[in-house]
Structure 1
Amino acid sequence: MKTKYIDLIEQTYDFPQEEFQLEDNKLQFHGIDLYDLVQRYGAPLKFTYLPKISDNIQRAKQWFGEAMEKHAYKGKYHYCYCTKSSHFEHVLNEALKNDIHIETSSAFDIDIVEHLKKSGKISKNTYVLCNGFKRDQYIQNIARLINNGHKNCIPVIDNYEELELLGESIEDNFKVGIRIASEEEPKFEFYTSRLGIGYKNIVPFYNQSIKGNPKVELKMLHFFINTGIRDTAYYWNELLKCLKVYVSLKKVCPTLDSLNIGGGFPIKNSLAFEYDYAYMVDEIIHQIKQACDEAGVDVPNIFTEFGSFTVGESGGTIYEVLYQKQQNDREKWNMINSSFITTMPDSWAISKRFIMLAINRWNEEYERILLGGLTCDSDDYYNSEQHMNAIYLPKYRKDKPLYIGFFNTGAYQETIGGFGGLQHCLIPHPKHILINRDGEGNIETSVFAEQQTAQEFLSILGYGAVKRQEAVINTKKVLESSKN
């Protein structure tokens, strides 16, 4: 009878997989011994495997390159990374090794862009696409970037007033894009995205506000839907509607030469995950070329803005099971030494599921359990995997520590969880390490951030104010005595 954890995984999924292998009954991730990692750095532990970022960028470039060659597509492809997925410097540094461009969504993103430009990580040839609702500081920062000579900064118009606000702040001529307000899936609570301008209003908006404006050059039409790029009737229908707008706009606007199809490539959320990326890219390129050929207009350059796809699969989180509580005849709760709400907020806020696997003890019997976090919030739990309405782990034993890993958590979780700030019930943010490989492929690790301390929380909460005030007083006394 097969009752061991390894039996369950091998019977349920195709295992091992490209990034997951087993050695001495311990889980390996891209050849990294995770159990050894925990022994060195402790748990809870966050990690970022940097090479995966470059790997995914290069995969996407290859898919688009092959599709364009197959269909004799004359436009160019530009890969953009949307910084909101993870603003960390180590993420941007790795991504920018691959000759990519940047998409921003708020005012302080521009400060990051200027820092990267000053440090030589990006150049004047790097496209900076500015999305989001723009007012005051964001407008001023975009204008500053363009006024300082970055002509490849393209603000994407989200509403009618933005064009005028930009024109007032930008000294010279500038380029813009227009975002389509796509129609949402029927299951959404609203019909049309709050972002962008309606399909029917884009050509009239161009004719009225841009066509006769010698200062503005329309270069891009931006298309994005919340559900992402998926092989559904809804996605293909919205793409075709977008292409109709592009064709109509291109016929009256000769400067229009780019189509931004946004982001939305899904990432692996289960060992049973299946998605044919190459097919989707091939079909998108085919649809765009066919629509343009039939209308007799030039095909556009293609921009994509991949955030989660760029950084998501580089991240992971490891917890230790502290204790098991038998709450009734059926339910066993394994309590982890951290919080799902603070370390993986998407699991709590939008019921997102990640790949979850035991790190050790694969050769032991398994049991069905629920996972609970340390906060006193009833929503701090994780109760099912993506394709199973349950969680199975090696049986809890007080004398044998059990470690569990959640994978592909690299996008959004730190920023949504408030990295370095207050956490729910003052549960500290875990230690975060960076994993890289040297020129010979050897694994290198470094600590990016230590686990938060009580003093850091107290300082944020204002409890350090008295000490700061005493320090100011003491400084004044020293200065006064030195004068005397």
Structure 2
Amino acid sequence: MNTKYIDLIDQTYFFPQEEFNLNEGNLQFHGIPLAELTAKYGSPLKFTYLPRISQNVARAKNWFENALRKHNYKGKYQYCYCTKSSHFQHILHEALKNDIHIETSSAFDIDIVEQLKRDGKIKDDTYVICNGFKRAQYIENIARLINEGHQNCIPVVDNYEEINLLCEAIDDSFKVGIRIASEEEPKFEFYTSRLGIGYKNIVPFYEDQIKNNEQIELKMLHFFINTGIRDNAYYWNELVKCLKVYVRLKKICPSLDSLNIGGGFPIKNSLVFEYDYQYMVDEIINQIVLACSEADVPVPHIFTEFGTFTVGESGGAIYEVLYQKQQNDREKWNMIDSSFITTLPDTWAINKRFILLPINRWNEEYERVLLGGLTCDSDDYYNSEQNRNAIYLPKYKKEKPLYIGFFNTGAYQENIGGYGGLQHCLIPQPKHVLIDRDENGNLTYELFSEQQKSEKMLEILGYSKKDKTNNTKMETIDAAEEN
């Protein structure tokens, strides 16, 4: 009988795959020997494989270059990285190796941009696309960047008041974009996105606040769908509506020359993942060409803001199965040495799926299990709802440690989980290792952060501060008594 875990995978999926293969019964990810990685650094463990970031940027650029060539497209393509997916320095440094641009979401993003400029990672001609609702600090930071000479900073107007606020803060002329408030899918609880300005109001808004303002030059129309770039009637319908607005606006606004279609490329979340990226890019470019040709207006330059696609497939998390609890005749709970709520918050917050595979013991028998985290919260688990199929893993054996890995977790998890801060039930943030390749293609490892210490949490909670205050008081009393 085929009862080994490797037999189950062979019967269910095409395996090995581009990023996954086996070596002596142990899993490798992009050639990384995960069993050796775990033996060296222990678990729980987060890791980032930096080369995957550059690979995905190159893939997307190639798809767009192919489509532009195919359609004899006269505009240019600009790849922007959406920083909110991961703000870490090592992520930005790797992404910016590839001659790309930046999209920001809030005030402190601009501080990061300015630091990257000082480090020589961002140049004066790098586009900085500023999205999001802009409060005073965000306006001030954008204005500072533009006033200091970064002319390719383009704030994308999200509401009617932002034009006046920007004009007051910026010394000279500047460029802006306008975000379209797209209509949501019927299953949403609301009809229109809270972000941007409605389709019907774009042209009146331009004529009222921008057209006769000599300080402002409208350069970009911004379009984004929350559910991402998908081959369905909803996406294509919204894109066509966006293009109708673009051509109407272009006819009365010659300076408008760019269309930002946002982000939304999916990443691999299963061993049966299928998505035809090249087809989708071809069809997007085709729709733009058709709309502009019919309206007799020039095609726009194309901007994208890929965040999850850029960084998601670079990340992974490794856990050890500590114990198995047989709660009834059917349910076996494998307890991991960390918490899903703290380290993979998307798994419980939005039922996000990640690829789950064992690191070792592939040549042993398997069983069906549920996975539980260490916290006392009933939501701290991972089961078939997130995994699409039932979870099967090599059988738990107390004397033979079992390690499991979650893959393509590189986007949002650290930001949402509160990296370096308080964690649910005070479960510590795990170690984080950066993995790269040198000029000869050999793997290199760098410990980015140790596992979180209790002292750091106590300091955040105020205990260390209280102790210091008490110590100061005692020292004052002692000094007074001596005098």
TM-score (norm 1): 0.97
- SS in structure 2 of the partner of residue 171 of structure 1: coil
Letter in 1 for 2:80: C
Q: Is the 8 A contact 1:356 1:385 kept in 2?
A: no
Q: 2 CA distance for matches of 1:277 and 1:470?
A: 61
Cα deviations by residue, 1:326-353 (Å, 9 ceiling, x for unpaired): 0001000000000000000000100001
Q: Is the 8 A contact 2:366 2:395 kept in 1?
A: yes
CA-atom RMSD, angstroms?
A: 1.7
Partner of 1:250: 250
Displacement of 1:454: 1.0
Where do 1:40-439 residues align within 5 Å?
A: 40-384=40-384, 388-439=388-439
Matched length: 481
Q: 2 CA distance for matches of 1:100 and 1:475?
A: 56
Letter in 1 for 2:320: E
Q: Is the 8 A contact 2:85 2:311 kept in 1?
A: yes
Displacement of 1:390: 1.2
Q: Is the 8 A contact 1:385 1:391 kept in 2?
A: no
Cα deviations by residue, 1:362-410 (Å, 9 ceiling, x for unpaired): 0011000000000000000000276643100000000000000000000
* Change in CA separation of 1:463 and 1:219 when aligned onto 2, cut-off 3 Å: same
Q: Is the 8 A contact 1:269 1:386 kept in 2?
A: no
- SS in structure 2 of the partner of residue 75 of structure 1: coil
Q: 2 CA distance for matches of 1:216 and 1:452?
A: 48
Q: 2 CA distance for matches of 1:34 and 1:6?
A: 17
Where do 1:2-17 residues align within 5 Å?
A: 2-17=2-17
Letter in 1 for 2:405: G
Displacement of 1:467: 3.8
Letter in 1 for 2:23: E
Residue ranges of structure 1 left out of the alignment (5+ in a row): none
Q: Is the 8 A contact 1:175 1:217 kept in 2?
A: yes
Q: 1 CA distance for matches of 2:98 and 2:309?
A: 15
Q: 1 CA distance for matches of 2:286 and 2:17?
A: 31
Displacement of 1:470: 5.9
The list of structure 1 runs, each at least 4 consecutive aligned residues, that deviate by more than 6 angstroms after superposition, is 473-477
Displacement of 1:119: 1.0
Displacement of 1:469: 2.9
* Change in CA separation of 1:177 and 1:79 when aligned onto 2, cut-off 3 Å: same
* Change in CA separation of 1:241 and 1:2 when aligned onto 2, cut-off 3 Å: same
Cα deviations by residue, 1:96-144 (Å, 9 ceiling, x for unpaired): 0000000000000000000001111101100000000001100000001
Cα deviations by residue, 1:265-312 (Å, 9 ceiling, x for unpaired): 000000000000011001111110111011100000000000000000
Residue ranges of structure 2 left out of the alignment (5+ in a row): none
TM-score (norm 2): 0.97
* Change in CA separation of 1:118 and 1:472 when aligned onto 2, cut-off 3 Å: farther
Letter in 1 for 2:254: P
Displacement of 1:471: 6.8
Q: 2 CA distance for matches of 1:223 and 1:388?
A: 31
Q: Is the 8 A contact 1:354 1:385 kept in 2?
A: no
- SS in structure 2 of the partner of residue 319 of structure 1: strand
Q: Which moved more, 1:454-463 or 1:94-103?
A: 454-463
Q: 1 CA distance for matches of 2:241 and 2:358?
A: 45
